[in-house]
Every structure is written in structure tokens, then in C-alpha cells.
Amino acid sequence: MLFRLAYLAVTNTFAVLRLLPMGDRDKDVEILALRHQITVLERQLGVGARVRFAPEDRAFLAALLTSLPREVLRRVRLLVRPDTVLRWHRDLMRRRHAGSCRPKRPGRPPTVRSIRALILRLVRENPS
């Protein structure tokens, strides 16, 4: 997955470089063409069908789209709902921080030796 994600990042970097010399009109035409292709794909899939994204595609889309404000994200034409993209981003962040937040040893931490000795002394002195 990491290799595929790196590949997506590199290819999209080259795509951004390709867009730099283009004018606004050319970019608008390309955006309209891409939106039309999404419409055709949705129509071919049907009403109940769902698009399956690979984990690296989810990670790339989540990293790319979460910088947009929520109201802009709702206006963007996507194959998935904006809430889904935000959930993907939350899952990414949860997995990223899961390793560092996990305790080294599971379970209750050991009791301090002096407290343990005090408890045992109280039990001996008061058996009831």
C-alpha cells in the first residue's frame, strides 16, 4: 500500500506540473470533462451500486480533500459523500497515532511496593 501511495503522489505531482502552464479556460474545460465522466460512470453503475476504493486511493483522496472547507467539499462532485471522505481522514489519523498511543504493556500498572506492604499489614491487623 505504501508503494502505491507513493506512486499516486508522484503521478499527481506531475499532473499538477502539467497544469501550471495551462490557462484558466483550459482547466475549466478539463474539469467539465472530468465531471461529465463522473456523471456517466454514476449512470452506468446504477442507483444501488457502490464504487469500491482501494486503501491507498482512500488515503490519497482523504489527504487531498480534507484541506477544503466542508461547504466547498459538499459542492465538489465526488463518487462518495463528503462525510465519507472525512471519515477516511479520521481513520487515517487514528491509525497513524494508534501505534504511539498504545501502552507498552497492557493491563493495570503495578502497585507501588510501599502501598502493597501497607495493604498487607492492614489485612493482617484487621482480618475481618
Question: What percentage of the chain exceeds 70 in pLDDT?
Answer: 92
* Cα(27)–Cα(22) distance, integer angstroms: 7
Does pTM surpass 0.85? no
User: Residue written as cell 466547498?
Assistant: 72
CB atoms within 10 A of CB 87: 14
The chain-wide mean pLDDT, for the chain, equals 79
Q: What is the per-residue pLDDT across 61-108, written as a single tens digit (0 to 9) for each?
A: 888 787 777 777 777 777 777 788 888 888 888 877 776 766 677 778
